[in-house]
Amino acid sequence: MQLRSYASDPEPDPPPTLTQQVERLKAELAVTQQALLERQARLNEAQQRLVLISKIARDDERCRRAPTVSWAALYCGPDNLARIGTDLPIA
């Protein structure tokens, strides 16, 4: 059985040229690289947070004196994470 083609049927898109394929792949690569950079930044932040929590959790006396400093490692923003350290003075 043959399908008839009508004049109103749209023409199929021509296959992409090699240049178009390369450009599409470059765009996909750029998006993938950006996603990787974002995930690496999130991983780095999580590692910093875990190291800080680990150091604070090992100092039982400090946790008892200043529990808010311990919780700050969990809830502070990424830009403030580097400023919080185990040497942070306790008031």
| Tokens, residue 16 | 């992409």
Residue 2 confidence (pLDDT)? 56
Q: pLDDT tens across 27-66, in order?
A: 999 999 999 999 999 998 888 877 777 777 777 777 777 7
Tokens of 79: 């830009």
Mean pLDDT of the chain: 77
Q: Where are the domains of the chain?
A: 18-81
Q: For the whole model, what pTM was predicted?
A: 0.56
